Structure 1
Amino acid sequence: MMDSDDVLVIGAGFSGLYMLHRLRQLGLRAQVLERAEKIGGTWLFNRYPGARCDIESIEYSYSFSEEIQQEWVWTETMPAQPEIEAYLNFVADRLDLRRDIRLDTDVTAMTFDDDSGRWTLQAADGETFVAPFVVAASGILSEPLEPDIPGMGTFAGDSLFTSRWPAGGVDLSGKRVGVIGTGSTAVQMIPVIAREVQQLCVFQRSPAFTLPWQVRQFEAGELDEMKANYGEIRQAQRQHPIGAARLSAFSVLIDMLVSPPIKTATRDEQVRAVDERGVMGALNWGDIFFDIEASRMATALYGEAIARIVRDPETAAALVPSHPFGCKRPIIDQGYYQTYNRDNVTLVDLRKNPIRTITPDGIDTAAEHYDLDVIIYATGFDAMTGALTRIDVRGRDGVLLRDVWAEQGPVSYLGLAVAGFPNLFTVQGPGSPAAATNFVTALEQHVEWIGDCIAHLKAAGHRTIEAMPEAQHEWIEHTTSLVAATVLVHPSCNSWYNGANVPGKKRMYMGYTAGIPEYRRRCDEIAGAGYAGFLLA
């Protein structure tokens, strides 16, 4: 048992690394517990072909260190997985973080003791760790959803999961491959592996909206010029609602909000939008986030744009989404629809032809059998809450966190704490801006707020801090009111944003949509008022 830390941090990804550095700066003793064999978090496990960030590299990076900003060299406008993983390792070495990171340490249980005001964490190997404060920096997309398809265990070929892709890669050349799922992961991966495999069958349940994007290497001197203006770039980032002032999938959404409405556009104007901007033009209307009929009109126009790209009419029609745009995370597209024009690619529409079972030699659907050598599962995540509900987290009176979230929904105060769980902080928990913003910009604010809070508690002699139930209730009412007038709460909107992708998960929109600057203002106001809404003992 170790009892020499002020704070235990769970997770050594983007959030955990900065949390450790920040706590050290504040003179606090901290240790990071990471279940993987390396650091990197989400960007360690999700190393499937084509894995890439949808925020520009110079903004999807830490802003707290001028030295790191200037020393690290990005090679592409939007970084691929290997480069992000290398960046995080560079940061860990540059800040000498590894000496306080315990790898291969899978936290399976956490218990708060009322008498001592301390948390006891137990790892899978039986080792225990004790500290007054715990910060869950465990990620919002780090707990994969395991599909439950009959016959999965009988398949004689290779079964691969995008969320735990083999470190050495996989040779798919000349093989018959099936991909189950068409979310962000699959949309990134499919154009890449289609160029390698003999035959690719894509099993699609829910078609995705995608945004065509050009990712390129930096030209000579381009990155140096941006680094010279990093101060202005970071200032603009902090003032931007999504924390990314330059081009990103999210910044496109902000632009759409101020565009003309589709419901008053003439047919000629609608066609012209597609002529000029393709699928992007089909979605560039200001009323599609608030009016379900406008959303359906834009979706129909989007289908027309797809039909201009995909030659087979049946395939093009099957690729048209059935949920409102914005309901799910926007996806960066690099040749996704064009891939379906390849002779070796087949789309299987599971809405019309569902999977019955997986057999030793492939997949049986209601209509036919597909012979396969490899099946790739790209089936999503238990987002926002899954990384904590997999752990047996017990707060006051032994109350189990997963039971609270199962009964009440994924409640929290500010996305930072949950009533009944003293001294437990969550980085980007439900009710925070994480899901709808640049994650790195959002996490830096969280880490700094948490660090300052713990330092204040220690200096003032407070033993515990706990979110008050009434403040938590008011915060959840506020966050849900922000999306009440949007298509995000329409019954057809089923996504990880609201937990509808997880069987049995209580449905509730889990993001804060008023933007990072407003969120930061509210958090600072609460801290300035002596941590209003928290009970300090």
Structure 2
Amino acid sequence: MLDETKTRKRNPLPTEIDALVIGTGVAGLYQLHQLRELGLNAHACDTATDVGGTWYWNRYPGAKFDSESYIYQYLFDERLYKDWTWSERFPGQREIERWLHYVTDRLDLRRDISFSTTITSARFDEVRGLWTVETDQGDVVTTRYLIGCTGMLSAPLTERFPGQASFKGKIVHTGRYPKEGLALEGKRVAVIGTGATGIQVIQTIAPEVAQLTVFVRTPQYVLPMKNPKYGPKEAAWYKDRFDELKTTIPHTFTGFEYDFENTWADLTPERRREILEEIYADGSLKLWLASFVEMFFDEEVSEEISEFVREKMRARLKDPRLIDILVPKKGDYGFGTHRVPLETQYLEAYLRDNVEAVSVRDNPIAEIVPEGVKLEDGTVYEVDTIIMAVGFDAGSGALARIDITGRGGMKLAEEWRKDIRTMLGMMKHGFPNLFMTGAPLAPSAALCNMTTCLQQQTEWITNCIRDIRASGNDVIEPTKEGEDAWVQHHDETAEATLIAKTDSWYTGSNVPGKPRRVLSYTGGVGVYRDKCEAIAKEGYPSFKMSKAKTTKVA
């Protein structure tokens, strides 16, 4: 159990600081540590009652890694890495949360964190070059640098259907699952959504509920997870690889330990099939992230690999009705152009007598009624509990929900309602000294092992602040020309992929009215890192630095 006594008393925010970090997940914790090491008076705040970010909020049944545990780690400190031992290849939420507590306490970060504190507004003072930040607790903070480590999937779409307030049972979003859990045993439960999160919930609760009704709109390609336990031998194996992993992971295409090594055109059909079978048997995301990169660009290659996965799924389901509902069809979308989930007996859950799959593709959910879920044709499914795995306003959502005002009264939310634009996914023209991680137009928005990319981004931000100060300046902002050039490069790279042609949260199409753009940089994690480093080495030519009218944070 986690020690809740550590969070009972709220640390007040200082009124004047050098840097304020929003969020205490993987990015926020490391960012706070680095800023303190830089000698800054830095502080962090979080709406949650403790650290963890994604792994604080997403405590729904079955929540776990689908990145291997030994690569979803900080690599800046060998002892920090080696002094923690994982119990299995893909551990669950509770163990992940304990790991983040271990990191927090090891680095003594709590003294500079205010929990149960939500940033409500931030306004940039162009004369002083400072941000004035307000919170829901009445704090007013003046800071030179504002860093949003708010997460790429942390703005849940909670109000998705008319009538939700009328439901007489319990209704929860997986991204805000109650800390005390829900009593589901013997209940009639509905799960809405079959993305990566919904799949974890469904496969976990199917054996314990009386009746499980799953509403399926978009069937998913799924890969079976192999999750061996780790003992001393396995722990020694991955810990001995620390130097290797630290050297290689940041430069792979997706920030995992594996990378694309095969070329489709160079191989016979028989050899291609052998490779697909070998990688499929690995029980990881390797088929998606390290088989054939051509699947993201070539429709024929995409279709062949997609059919390979569909074949595997059909063989497990057997039932023609379930296959029709749960297996993507040719022409829907290609394998890998959506987020690919790992699962454990997910498809087999639908073979249970107490589980029903309901297609809402052509007969969508019309509303939530007091008794349950009502479809467009008038059918009502009566349930006791509704679990909504209906997704997030990805990338831009969390920061856009804060009233952030930049130069000339520019509102970040309004700018992103017009067009999703950033510079490197870390800054925005018109918003000086506002840094961000996990934001649009960087690999961390979707296509990366998150710790790999978040470490890189926070390190770049820290070095940028160091360089600003060393130059005798206080303020940095991307130029319009610099941002335009990055957006153009991002779009040219993304538009060459099949991802851009597919409706999903990767393109923002799950949020009505959100400007369409591939949210994640698709040029590769290693390439992105190189581009970021080159900009810094060249003296930030795409940015403007300046001296504030006052050097005091007051």
- Matched residues in 1 for 2:272 and 2:543: separation? 53
- Where do residues 47-446 of structure 1 align in structure 2 (5 Å cutoff)? 47-246=59-258, 254=260, 258-259=263-264, 265=269, 287-292=294-299, 294-296=301-303, 298-321=305-328, 322-365=332-375, 366=377, 368-407=379-418, 409-434=419-444, 435-446=446-457
* More displaced 10-residue stretch of structure 1: 391-400 or 232-241: 232-241
- Matched residues in 2 for 1:276 and 1:240: separation? 17
Q: 1:87 to 1:272 in 2, by over 3 A?
A: closer
% identical aligned pairs? 39
Q: 1:231 to 1:328 in 2, by over 3 A?
A: same
Give the match for residue 538 of structure 2. 529
- Matched residues in 2 for 1:244 and 1:287: separation? 18
CA contact (8 A) 1:270 1:282 kept: no
- Matched residues in 2 for 1:535 and 1:232: separation? 37
Cα displacement (A) at 1:125: 2.5
Aligned residue for 2:232, secondary structure, equals coil
* More displaced 10-residue stretch of structure 1: 477-486 or 319-328: 319-328
* More displaced 10-residue stretch of structure 1: 319-328 or 163-172: 319-328
- Matched residues in 1 for 2:279 and 2:477: separation? 54
- Count of aligned residue pairs for this structure pair: 525
TM-score by length of 2: 0.90
Give the match for residue 551 of structure 2. none
- Matched residues in 2 for 1:59 and 1:294: separation? 29
- Matched residues in 1 for 2:274 and 2:114: separation? 57
Q: 1:277 to 1:131 in 2, by over 3 A?
A: closer
CA contact (8 A) 1:282 1:302 kept: no
- Name the aligned partner's letter for residue 344 of structure 1: N
* More displaced 10-residue stretch of structure 1: 176-185 or 334-343: 334-343
- Matched residues in 2 for 1:137 and 1:361: separation? 39
* More displaced 10-residue stretch of structure 1: 14-23 or 147-156: 147-156
Give the match for residue 485 of structure 1. 496
- Matched residues in 1 for 2:469 and 2:286: separation? 54
Give the match for residue 510 of structure 1. 519
Residues 311-348 of structure 1, C-alpha deviations (whole Å, 9 max, x = no match): 32011111122222222111111111111111111110
Aligned residue for 2:124, secondary structure, equals strand
CA contact (8 A) 1:261 1:287 kept: no
Residues 340-368 of structure 1, C-alpha deviations (whole Å, 9 max, x = no match): 11111111010133222222222222263
Aligned residue for 1:179, secondary structure, equals strand
- Matched residues in 1 for 2:89 and 2:410: separation? 46
- Matched residues in 2 for 1:337 and 1:72: separation? 34
- Matched residues in 2 for 1:49 and 1:286: separation? 33
- Matched residues in 1 for 2:88 and 2:198: separation? 21
- Matched residues in 2 for 1:282 and 1:438: separation? 15
- Matched residues in 2 for 1:469 and 1:432: separation? 18
- Name the aligned partner's letter for residue 461 of structure 2: I
CA contact (8 A) 2:42 2:112 kept: yes
Cα displacement (A) at 1:272: 11
TM-score by length of 1: 0.92
Q: 1:345 to 1:397 in 2, by over 3 A?
A: same
Aligned residue for 2:473, secondary structure, equals coil
- Matched residues in 2 for 1:300 and 1:525: separation? 41
Q: 1:380 to 1:98 in 2, by over 3 A?
A: same
Cα displacement (A) at 1:282: 10
- Matched residues in 2 for 1:204 and 1:260: separation? 36
Residues 452-485 of structure 1, C-alpha deviations (whole Å, 9 max, x = no match): 1112212322021000011111101111111222
Cα displacement (A) at 1:222: 1.3
Residues 22-74 of structure 1, C-alpha deviations (whole Å, 9 max, x = no match): 01111111000111111111110000011011111111011111221121121
- Name the aligned partner's letter for residue 535 of structure 2: I
* More displaced 10-residue stretch of structure 1: 214-223 or 40-49: 214-223
**Structure 2, unpaired ranges of 5+:** 1-12, 547-554
- Matched residues in 1 for 2:255 and 2:269: separation? 31
- Name the aligned partner's letter for residue 263 of structure 2: V
- Matched residues in 2 for 1:52 and 1:107: separation? 28
Aligned residue for 2:367, secondary structure, equals strand
Residues 374-418 of structure 1, C-alpha deviations (whole Å, 9 max, x = no match): 1111110111100110001100011001111111x2211111110
1:39 correspondence with 2:51: yes
What do you get for the CA RMSD once the two structures are aligned?
A: 2.5
- Name the aligned partner's letter for residue 541 of structure 2: A
Aligned residue for 1:525, secondary structure, equals helix
- Matched residues in 2 for 1:161 and 1:226: separation? 35
Residues 405-432 of structure 1, C-alpha deviations (whole Å, 9 max, x = no match): 111x221111111000001111132111
Residue among 499, 502, 527 paired with 2:508: 499
**Structure 1, unpaired ranges of 5+:** none
Q: 1:287 to 1:536 in 2, by over 3 A?
A: closer
- Matched residues in 1 for 2:408 and 2:355: separation? 56
CA contact (8 A) 2:32 2:42 kept: yes
Aligned residue for 2:366, secondary structure, equals strand
- Matched residues in 2 for 1:244 and 1:299: separation? 22
- Name the aligned partner's letter for residue 481 of structure 1: E
Cα displacement (A) at 1:239: 2.8
- Name the aligned partner's letter for residue 193 of structure 2: G
Give the match for residue 3 of structure 2. none
